[in-house]
Structure formats: C-alpha cells, structure tokens
Chain A
Amino acid sequence: MSTYLREGAGRPRAAGKHLLLALSLGFLLHAWPVNAAFLSAELRVNGLTCPFCAFGIEKKLLDVDGVRDVEVFLDEGRITLSFRTDSEATVDDLEKAVRKAGFELAGLRLVVGGELLQEAGVRFIAHAAMTFRLLEAHAGTPGPVSAETLRRLREDQLLGQHPLVIEGAVEARSAVEPTLILDGSGSAERREK
C-alpha cells in the first residue's frame, strides 16, 4: 500500500509530528463543517452461524442512526451495510451494535465519502467523529482493513474512541468527491478534544 503514498507525504514517525498533525486537523475541524459520512461498510464477525444471532445483529445495526440497510451473510461471518446520506454513524456505533448482539467486531472495511477540503496544504475529509487525511489520490483497488491494522487499533485502544485521526490510502473517483477507503496501510492517532 505504500506505493499509494505520495513521496514526501508518508506517515509522520515522530510523536511530535503526530501531535502537530492532530492539532492542525483539530483546528481544521473546528474551522470547517463536518462534511463526510460513511457510504458503506463491510463488517467481519466470528462465529455467526445461527439465524437468531444473524437476525439479532441485523436488528442492532439497523438501530444505528443513519444505517439504511444491512445484509448478513450467514456462515461467511460477513455483514454489509449501506448508510443514508445524512448518516453520522461512527465506528464506535457500529462496534457497540455488534457487541450488543453478543459478538465482537473482527474486521471492518469502510467507504467514506464527502467533499474534499484543503487547508494549510492538508487535504482531508471531515467526519463527525473522525478525520480522514487525504494522502494520495489513486486509482488502485483498495483492500479491506487488515487484521494487523485492527489489532494495532485495538491495542492502542483507538478503535471505538473518538475523535480519531486516521491516515489511509484514498481512492479518488473524482477531484471533488473522493471516496476514501481505510486499508491496511492506515495508522491512527488519538486526538484529544
């Protein structure tokens, strides 16, 4: 995935750089209105074999504000979601819904859309709870969030907490309406309010 990263625009390595980025994006979030939402998501859940559980997880996810439709693929442990355009659903909401149904989220692939904003040389999409920093527009085929990324997010206790700043590769379908897909190259940093 690193091939998608623009030269010189790689992930900040020093903690200070992370903090600077977080603060700058925090400033931008205050300056810019929230303008992005989840478009679709694919969740992975282990042990999803029974219809009572499958219909339960469907029910809990449909209860999340902004979720338009849910499809559960029994035995595959795969769940696809679509969202209303005005959705303000967060990863935290999805994770809580899965937990309420008696399961743990084992994988997540998100497609997020919104107007591309730019400030101080940083391009980003602002979501209610997360800021997606645009690293590189590319036409590559995005992949799902890797287990390794999820593990790292969990170990850092980042998943489910927000606001988050997440870097990820970007699939730009057009110059002004990019679709951002978190993938295995993502890293995350908690940003204090």
Chain B
Amino acid sequence: MKCRRNREALAFGAFIVVAVLAVGCSVEPIPGPKYLSSWGTTGSAPGEFRQPIGIAVASDGMVFVADAGNHRVQAFDAAGKFRWAFGSRGEEPGEFRRPMDLDIDAKGRLYVAEHGGDRVQVFTREGRFLRVIRGDETPAGAFDGAAGVLASPSGELYVADFYHDRIVVFREDGTFHRIIGTSGRVLPGRLHYPTDVDWVDGHLVVADAYNNRIQLFTPEGKAVARWGGPLGSGLPGDGPGSFRVATGVAVDDLERIYVADFENHRIQVFASTGSLLAVFGSRGTGRGEFERPTDLDIGPDGRIYVVDFGNDRVQVFEPLLAEVQ
C-alpha cells in the first residue's frame, strides 16, 4: 500500500512539474505592431488592385505585388508610390494567368508563380522576361496551380504546387532537384493545398494552407516541426496559435515567422520553435483591420507589408520589437 501511495505521489508531483513548466513556457502573446500606412483601392488603373494576393519586398525597399485579378505585377516604392507595372492576361512569356506569389533572389531577379498559368516566370525587376519554369520533368508532371515561390539563400528554387500537394525544388539552373511533402492530412510531412514557402534558420517553412498549419522541413525534405491545432494536427480554430487557412508566410531577420491567417483575418507571429509571439488584426475595413489577408513580407527596415486581399490594398506596420522573442 505504501509503495502504491508513493507511486501516486510521484505521479502527482510529475503532473505538477509538467503543468508548471507548461505554464512557464507558454508566453502570453503581446499586441501586434502599430499600423503605419496603406495604399490601393479597387480598380485596374495604376496603383489600384483587383484581388491582390502575393507580395515581395526587395532589399532596397521596393515592393512588388501580384495583382491577380488584373493579371499583372505592380511595383511601388517603400512609401507606396506607384512606380511601374507589367503583364496582362495571357499565356505568352510576360503575360499572366492569375499571378499569385513573388520572390526576389540575391541577384535581384523576380520570380512570379502563376496559379492559372501553371508556371513560374523569371523577370528583371523592371519586368523584362528572362525564362520560365513549368516543372514538366518532375515525377507528377507539370505544376497544377503554382501558388507560392521561394528563391532560397542557397540558390535553389522552391515552388508550392497547390493541387499536387507538394513542394517542388529546383536547382539554381532551373533543373528539377526533388519533391518535398506528400498529399494528406494530420501526419507530419503531409500537405493539403500548400500556398507559400519561406526559409528560417536553415529550414523550409511551408504554409500548409488547408491543413490549417505551418510545417518546417529540412532542406532534404524531412518534416521536423509543425504547429496549428492540437499537436500540429491542423484542426482549424480561432484561438491563439490556431489557423483557419494559413495562406502566407514571411520570416524576418530575427528568424520570426509571420503567418497570414486568412479566414481569421489576422496575422500571427511565431518563434522558429513555433512559440506564439504576437497576434494582430481583426476583420474590417479600417486601419489595421483585414478582410482575408493572403500574404505578407518584411522590408529591409523590418516593416511588415500585408496584402489585404478582400480590401484590395496593402497595409504597412511598424517593425515588431526586437525584444519580442
């Protein structure tokens, strides 16, 4: 009897220790950064948007927006002043069918993923066409909805292949390298309509959109971390740390991961370990409010640029404090 009591006492003690540790480890998310400015309204004129959906900020502060409904890319300076646009609806080089996401490599080349055109086109920043990548040589064939693109620091190109539930990796010369992820739910490494990719601390970050979670992979494709819903299962929710369709990811210089939580109309910020750091935004049309944000990126000065899809605008926020870790 004494022995059993001891075991119970030990178990209770262990529970208390675990609970205290859990409380100690859970960080109360702080309020988000302050709203700075916004630009854009509904339309097709220069500086106007129809269903803007992807964004990339260059190292000099230039902002590029995938204006999906107008089948074009628009370029703005850091203050939001329209500079130039290129592209129109079509299948030819330099034309677009639903440009979705963009990224800029170390040499300043602009990569544009097209959902409707099933390709990634590469341009100079000014919009001069350079080449196209279709993924024809991959195991499952060409892309079926190229939704997100990342020109990684290593020179490899990562493409979120929406309907194939996979990330396709290309070498710097554009040749196929490997596939990351397989189709499925809940389990590690399974993807369900991925929409965006980024790079954190030597790992690939994937917006596993319709699994309502974020997943981290090694460059070789091993799933090493996930969060969103209990144990990263992807159960949708609106509590802190949960998602309702996680569509966009961005990473800042302090390796903090920003997620566009589409149907919760907010942005959530995490440490690379998955700990929640900050939450900001709510549904609306006012300053700092969102109507289904789809993507975001971080400027060279740490400013946060969010594509406010449903409001046809881009919103800019102050950098998140460095102390928020």
Contacts and interface: CB of A to CB of B under 8 A. Distances in A.
A51 B51 contact: yes
A52 B147 contact: yes
Contact of A51 (B97, B118, B163, B294): B294
Contact of B53 (A51, A56, A59, A62): A51
A52 B209 contact: yes
A189 interface: no
A50 B245 contact: yes
B263 A52 contact: no
Contacts of B163: 56, 100
B68 A51 contact: yes
Given A50-B262, A52-B162, A52-B195, A62 B51 contact: no
Interface in B217-266: 245, 247, 262-263
Contact of B309 (A51, A56, A58, A59): A51
Interface in A64-117: 74, 100, 102
Contact of A55 (B98, B245, B247): B98
B213 to A, nearest CB: 16
Contacts, number: 43
Interface residues of A, number: 12
> Could you tell me the dominant secondary structure of chain A's interface residues?
helix
B115 interface: yes
A58 B163 CA distance: 13
Contact of A56 (B68, B145, B292, B294): B145
A52 B115 contact: yes
B298 interface: no
Contacts of B162: 52, 56
A52 B68 CA distance: 10
Interface in A20-47: none
16 contacts: A49-B263, A51-B53, A51-B294, A52-B193, A52-B195, A52-B209, A52-B247, A55-B98, A55-B115, A56-B163, A58-B98, A58-B116, A59-B115, A59-B116, A59-B118, A100-B163
